[in-house]
């Protein structure tokens, strides 16, 4: 009986200690304040090397996204589809269903 009691006690201690161990490596820790958490940037562990990060920054500088991000502007989404010609867009608008045309005009006219 004593052995099972000891094993059960160890299992309970382990089960309650594991979540705390997992939180020690995270950036966010629970706190008993109004905010409910604390932020610890020193707990961040990167998988990238310094050279990889510098290469990404240089690529962002070259394509202009770094400037946009520094100003807090949204970065344009790069499409993988081939761009449409002007004639393709005009043909699509001419063959548009009446409901879709009404919805588009309402969207762009603001009412």
Mean pLDDT by 10 residues, the chain (111 residues): 71 64 67 80 84 95 93 88 93 93 86 58
Per-residue pLDDT, 4:
74
Per-residue pLDDT, 16:
67
- The domain locations on the chain are 14-70
Neighbours of 68 (CB within 10 A): 14
Residue 102: CB partners within 8 Å, gap ≥ 6? none
pTM score, whole prediction: 0.40
Q: How far is CA 102 from CA 16, 95, 97, in A?
A: 59, 13, 9
The alpha carbon of residue 84 and the mean position of all alpha carbons in its chain are separated, in whole angstroms, by 30
């Amino acid at each position: 009986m004593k052995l099972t009691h000891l094993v059960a006690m160890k299992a309970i201690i382990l089960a309650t200690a594991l979540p705390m161990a997992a939180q020690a490596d995270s950036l966010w820790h629970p706190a008993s304040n109004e905010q409910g958490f604390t932020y610890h940037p020193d707990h961040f562990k990167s998988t990238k090397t310094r050279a990889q990060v510098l290469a990404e920054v240089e690529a962002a500088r070259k394509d202009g996204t770094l400037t946009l991000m520094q100003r807090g502007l949204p970065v344009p989404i790069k499409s993988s589809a081939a761009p449409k010609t002007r004639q393709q867009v005009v043909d699509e608008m001419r063959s548009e269903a009446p409901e879709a045309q009404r919805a588009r005009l309402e969207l762009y006219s603001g009412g």
